[in-house]
Structure formats: structure tokens, C-alpha cells
Structure 1
Amino acid sequence: MQILVPGTPGRQESLERLPDAAQQERVRQLLWEFADNPGDGELVSRLDAELEDILVQARRALEQGRTGEAGSLLDIVDDIMPKFPGLAGARAQLAQARAVDDLLAAGRGALERGDISQPEGESAWDYYRRALDADPGNAAAAEGLADVEQAMINQALVYARRGEFDAAERVLEEAGHVRPDNSLVARGRAQFDEIRLGEVQRLEARAVRAMDAGEFSTADRILIDLIALGGQDDRVKTLRRRLEEARRYGGFSPGQIIRDPFLNSDAVAPESVVVLAGSFTMGSEASEAGRAENEGPVHRVTFRSGFAIGRTEVTVEQFRVFVKESAYRTDAERNGRSTILDPFSGRLTERKNISWESNFEGRPADSDEPVIHVSWNDAQAYVEWLARGTGKSYRLPSESEFEYALRAGTTTRYWWGNGSPNSVVENLTGDGDSSRSRRQWSVSFEKYSDGFWGPAPVGAFQANPFGLFDMGGNVGEWVRDCWHDTYVRAPGDGSAWINPGCIERVIRGGYWASSPEQSRSAHRLYAKANYHDARIGFRIARDL
């Protein structure tokens, strides 16, 4: 047995590293006594007990991470008895603990440098994981991994705030593998979701603003960004439907009333109603009573986009504003005459000095009556003035737009049914109506009276299902199309059928003196573009 002797150089000083001064004195005394009595078994037993206690202190220091203290204690045992049982094992534990300390220090350094999960083998995650593999119960290593996890979460949130959500997702996914306990990642993901929701709401608001402004390409790009965020299927579907509606209706809604102000004056365009996009069968079947050949063949017309059409016919007052601001002279004014209904003979008669300011009998017209004695040329000049003044696409309606809006989803002879109305719906020829001279209509709707002989103030009766007034009665109305004897080769997209240089234009809708056959939804008339009389007015249309 090799045992320290008191006089060995450097050995005596090692005892001074014992933390317990009393134990230090006991061991020193035992060593002196053993030097005088090397064969004394009792002294050997007492010394073994002291060394075992020092070894226990060393192991306790190792368990508590005090590797420096443990090393000093093991050096004391090694100096006294190099082959003491358990010393080699404790030395191995110390070496492992020192290696773990080195890994922990490397982990802290990597964390400070920002090397959280990269480069591979030299990241904080790698160092702390190796430390924990070497010492599964090491609290510092476990805490270091928690720090790594939090640093990764923080990095993910930085990415998220910059809008780099894919990168943030990858880092959060990676952070979920750092430790079995994912509570930190769960909290980080909640923060990430909150940031992403904020971005979603911001993009959604931008998309809606773009749609409302008619910037549909911009809205499309924003939706692509929204899709890239992931997990927003329901929102994207809703916005796509809204975008499609916006494309169809220019940011308006079906049934909405539009009244555009002029850009450089106090004038305002007449009210128009946004018409629902859709499809209908135009014309009349051969079996329809009163049908004319020019109402066929029936054909399908589809409006892929909505449009707006005048809520009422253009009034005398609205036309007066146009004449005043544009100094326009109508065809009737240039001709010096127009056709009126003679109240005594009951016949249409041409009279001098009749113009748009005159009513159907040639007397001054009320301001809320539909303007009459206007030609197609006059109506076209009015909508062109509206377009210039408002900056919007005003025009006359196409023939198919007019019939679609007149029918308003119905397929019957009239928008109210197949015969005489059960209530007052339009200004029609009723058997209960009579003129000032007690005249009555020779052909009329049975059991019907609206109280007017001649045009009524616009909007005086019931609106059709599209919210439009006087579509089937009151006055006939100019539309944009050239006249064609049939619908063979007629457009199926709702556009006007125009031939360059055409002279005759189409008139749609019944008027105050129309027979029941002439009041049908499919009925159509025509006249030269410069024609005007007491039966014809017009209403506006507008692209969305």
C-alpha cells in the first residue's frame, strides 16, 4: 500500500485544499502516525474511512456541478493513495463532467454568436444536446436547450413580422424538435398565428379596397399573397366570390341605385339601377298570341357582367339641364315641328313649334313627365353628354338589355303575367281610361285603368322585379341597336347589334297608346334615327 508520508515535497500542501479544517487536521495526524507505525491496521482503517469520506465529497461536488472542487478533492485522495478503490471511477466521472462543462461553455458561446441551429455540429443546439446526451440529468444543458428553443421561436417571430411566414413556419417546426416539452413552441405558435392573422386581415382589407376601386388585377395579386399564407381557404373563397361580383358589377351590387355627379358642374346623372348578370331567352315563340315575325327566332342571351339601366325614363327637367349646359338643339327644334295627339280628332297630327318642352298634346310639359319629341340622335347626344360630364360609360341600352330588364326574370307575355294586370302596374291602355273629350281606347286591357290618357309622371306606378319603372308602358324608348327584320345572327352576349351607317333604330317597350299586343315584352318597333313624336322617349344605360 502506497501512502503519503509527511515529508514528501508538495504532498503536504494538498491537504490544505480540504474544505473541512478539522478533517484536514485529522488526516495530517493520521499520516504522521502511520509514518511511525506503518504496520498498524487500525491506523489504515481510520485513514481509509477519511479517504472514503473525501471521495464522497468529491462525488457530491460532481453531482452539483462543482468540478473544480471535485478535482481538488480527488487530487488529495490520489496524493495519499493513488490506487484507492473508487478513485479511478470518480476520475472518469470528473473527466466526463469537465467535457460536459466544455460543451456547455461552447453552447453559451454559440448562442451569443447567434449560431442557434447552424452550422451543423457547431451550433448551440448541437453543443447542449451533446452535453445532455453525456449527462442526461444536467440541468444547465436542459436550460441551454430551452434557451435554444426560445431563440428559435424569437427568430421565427422576426421572420413573421417581416412577412416571411414560410421561413417562420420552418423555424417553428424545427423548434418543436429541440425538447420533448413543446410548451414554449405552443406559446410561440400562438404569437405567430396572431401575427399571421393580422397580416391576413391587412391583406383582406387591401383586397376589398382594390375591388371597390375597380383595381381587379391588384386584388388578384393580393389574393395570391393571401393564398401563400396558407390556412385561409374560407377567406379566399369568400374574397374570390366578392372579386367575381366586383368584376361583374364594377364594385356595385345588383339592385343598387347609382347617381353619378358631374365632374365640373352641379349636374347629376339620372338614377340608374344595377341589373343582375344572367341569361334569358329573347324574343317570342311562334305560339305567343300577337307575335310578329320580327320577334324571332328566340335565342339565348347571356350577360356575363352586370350593367345599369335608368330607373325611369329621362324626364323633361333632366333633359332641360342637358340643353341648358350644352346648348343642344333637337331634331324637332331644327325641323320646327313634331307629331302630337289631337285631343279633338284623337289622331296623331303634325304641329309646328312642338319640341321636347311640349307634352303629348302640344301643351307645355310638366318637369317630371318623360321627355318626348326626341329622336334617336337627341337621345344619343344626351348620353354622350352624360359620359363626358361624369367620366362614366353612359350610353343607350342595347335592345337585349332592355328586354332582359323589362322581363326582369319573367317568361310571360308581360312582366306582370299573361293578361290584364290585377293591379295598377304601368301606364297602359285600359278600358277604364278616357280622354278629356271622353274618348276611350278601341283596343285595351280589360278591367284596367291607370287614370292617364297620355304619358304619366315617371315612376308613378309599380316597379318591376328589377326595381325599374315604366318599362312596359308610358312611352316607347329608343335603344342603341340598328333595326333588323329578325334575330338571325343576333349577338348572344347582350351587346348592341349595330351596322355602320344604319338609318333605322329600334324602339322598345309599350307606350301610353299601345294596344295589349304592342305592350308585350317581346314587341319591337323601329323608326329612322331623326324621327320624333309624342310616343317616344328614352332611358339611359351605364357600363359598370
Structure 2
Amino acid sequence: MDDDHDLVPGCPGEEIVAGRPAWRHTPSGIVFRKVPAGSFRMGLSDTELDALRAIERSGGVEDTLEPFLARAEDAQPVREVWVEPFLIAWHPLTVAQVQHWLPDYEDEYADADTGTARLEDDLEDLLDLLPFRLPSEAQWEYAARAGTTTLTFRGDGKPGEDQLLDDFGDETRTAAGENAFGLAAMGSENELCADTWIPGFAGAPADALPRTGKGPRTTRGGAADVYPWQGCDEWLLLLSAMRYEHAQFTAVRPVAPQPPS
């Protein structure tokens, strides 16, 4: 295996990035953070639903949350899931990082090479070449929650546009958007997961493995993809439990095995 297909040679060792331990895949420049093992309650809980209704009652929505609440069962039932430790990219892949594998890749959505790559026609080509895999839904939500049980890792309040991040050229700004696991922009972009889209979690595994099969994959997050917000409650896309069927362009945040100690 060459460096692109073996995380350890590509990541020569632990380093400090933005004040936290990280592993950098040298050929592409992807920075990974370690997510510790643990269990969590996965899905949209009754407490979170109550928090959403409280936001609606306070006048914090542009229209009504009823269409969203009617689809709440897509993220239920809530269940306990155990997650083994793993590495996940600090932020979604940038245009420059995608160009490591796809030199001719261009992105009309990004303002710079340091911006998030939103892949459409090139998506499957990248996934074929990428030496890392997509996160399972359970890994993604566990990483996004970072030990919290609230609507977002910042709490149960309505998220603001200041939580969005879709360019990573400024390391200080990127670090300011981190959660407790040191991950930035969780929920900002619509990020592709390894799981096939299945409404709800009935019968889903409790060991964080992806549910695979034929059909479109599941997408998480996505609020920055409709920025600037246009009064349609796009902030809901920032919720840790938000999930939907992949239909168009998407960002990619790869995961890798835990490095040897």
C-alpha cells in the first residue's frame, strides 16, 4: 500500500493543530481528530421536540414547525448506541483536498480552494479513490453531539447564522467553531454518511455500524448550503439529529481507524 491507502504512513504521528491533538494525512492535508469511545442516545428525543416547540411558541420560527415535526419519526425511536474510537476529519473536505485525488475538480459553490467541496457528478469518482470511508450515521451524530443531548452542541436555543462555517482557510476561525471533540462545522454542510436512507431507526444496530443496501445514502447537516438563510427555518438543518435522503450535491467528511498508540 502507498501513503494514500495506509493512514499510518500518511499520518506520520500526532501533532497539535489549533491547540488540540490531530493526525494529518500528509499527501492530501486532511486533518483528523480522535473521537473517544462511548455510548450515547441517538435520535430526536422528546426533550428535543419540546425544545423545538418552545422555540416555535416564542416566535422564533418564520412559519410553522408542523411539517418538520410530522417527519420527526424519521429520526426515532431514540436508542442507546455504543461507538468505538475513530478518527474523523476536522471539517468537511475542501476543494483543494478533493483536488489531491481529482486534479481537474472545480466547484462553483466554493469561493476559494479552502472552501467546502460540494460534490455532484464527481462524488462517486472521489469515493472510489478516497482511501478513507464515510462515517456511519451513528458515528456522525455521536461526533456532532460531542457528549451533549441538546438540539445542537451549543444547547437548545435556536441556532444562529454565526454557527455556520464553510471555508477553512482561517485556522483560528475554524477552531472557534469546534465542539467538545474538536470538530468544526458539524451541521453546517450536508454531509454524506455510509448508511442507506431508511426512515426511522427501528431495528437499527446498536454498535454504530452503517445500514447498507440499495438506494440513496443518508445525509446529515446542511444549513450552510442554503446560506444566506431566506426565512425558511434552514437552522433546523444544524440539529444534531437532523437526517434526510441524499438527493443532490453533498460534502464529505471522511473517517479513519484509530491510529496505533
User: Same fold per TM (> 0.5)?
Assistant: yes
Structure-2 residue corresponding to 1:403: 141
Question: What are the superposed Cα offsets for residues 299-347 of structure 1, whole Å, 9 maximum, x if unpaired?
Answer: 11102x31011101100011112112xx7xxxxxxxxxxxxxxxxxxxx
* Change in CA separation of 1:463 and 1:407 when aligned onto 2, cut-off 3 Å: same
- Secondary structure of the 1:319 match is helix
Looking at structure 2, the residues matched to 421 and 294 of structure 1 have their Cα atoms a distance apart, in angstroms, of 21
- Secondary structure of the 1:395 match is coil
Aligned counterparts, 1:199-278, within 5 A = 256-261=21-26, 267-278=27-38
* Change in CA separation of 1:309 and 1:516 when aligned onto 2, cut-off 3 Å: same
Aligned counterparts, 1:471-482, within 5 A = 471-473=186-188, 475-482=189-196
How far residue 384 of structure 1 moved from its aligned partner, in angstroms, is: 4.5
Matched, 1:503 2:215: yes
Matched-pair identity in %:
27
* Count of residue pairs the alignment pairs up: 212
Matched, 1:540 2:257: no
Structure-2 residue corresponding to 1:518: 237
Structure-1 residue corresponding to 2:115: 369
Looking at structure 2, the residues matched to 471 and 277 of structure 1 have their Cα atoms a distance apart, in angstroms, of 18
- Secondary structure of the 2:30 match is coil
Looking at structure 2, the residues matched to 268 and 358 of structure 1 have their Cα atoms a distance apart, in angstroms, of 17
Calculate the TM-score normalised by the size of structure 2.
Answer: 0.72
- Secondary structure of the 1:516 match is helix
Quick check: which one's helix share is greater?
1
Question: What are the superposed Cα offsets for residues 38-76 of structure 1, whole Å, 9 maximum, x if unpaired?
Answer: xxxxxxxxxxxxxxxxxxxxxxxxxxxxxxxxxxxxxxx
Structure-2 residue corresponding to 1:382: 126
What residue identity is the alignment partner of 1:515? E
Looking at structure 2, the residues matched to 252 and 258 of structure 1 have their Cα atoms a distance apart, in angstroms, of 5
Alignment partner of 1:358 out of 99, 107, 110: 107
Please tell me whether the aligned partners of residues 259 and 272 of structure 1 are also in contact (alpha carbons under 8 angstroms).
yes
Structure-1 residue corresponding to 2:73: 293
Calculate the TM-score normalised by the size of structure 1.
Answer: 0.36
* Change in CA separation of 1:358 and 1:406 when aligned onto 2, cut-off 3 Å: same
Aligned counterparts, 1:312-351, within 5 A = 312-324=91-103
Alignment partner of 1:467 out of 174, 178, 182: 182
Please tell me whether the aligned partners of residues 252 and 274 of structure 1 are also in contact (alpha carbons under 8 angstroms).
no
Please tell me whether the aligned partners of residues 425 and 463 of structure 1 are also in contact (alpha carbons under 8 angstroms).
no
- Secondary structure of the 2:203 match is coil
* Structure 1, unpaired ranges of 5+: 1-213, 215-250, 262-266, 328-355, 388-393, 428-454
Larger radius of gyration: 1
* Change in CA separation of 1:415 and 1:258 when aligned onto 2, cut-off 3 Å: same
Looking at structure 2, the residues matched to 283 and 495 of structure 1 have their Cα atoms a distance apart, in angstroms, of 15
* Structure 2, unpaired ranges of 5+: 1-7, 53-67, 227-232
Question: What are the superposed Cα offsets for residues 497-536 of structure 1, whole Å, 9 maximum, x if unpaired?
Answer: 112xx12110002321262223211010112xxx533xx2
* Change in CA separation of 1:268 and 1:518 when aligned onto 2, cut-off 3 Å: closer
- Secondary structure of the 1:271 match is strand
Q: CA RMSD in A?
A: 2.8
Structure-2 residue corresponding to 1:302: 82
Looking at structure 2, the residues matched to 423 and 416 of structure 1 have their Cα atoms a distance apart, in angstroms, of 13
Please tell me whether the aligned partners of residues 397 and 540 of structure 1 are also in contact (alpha carbons under 8 angstroms).
yes
- Secondary structure of the 1:309 match is strand
**Larger RCO: Structure 1 or Structure 2 (Cα < 8 Å, ≥ 6 residues apart)?**
2
Please tell me whether the aligned partners of residues 414 and 519 of structure 1 are also in contact (alpha carbons under 8 angstroms).
yes
* Change in CA separation of 1:260 and 1:383 when aligned onto 2, cut-off 3 Å: farther
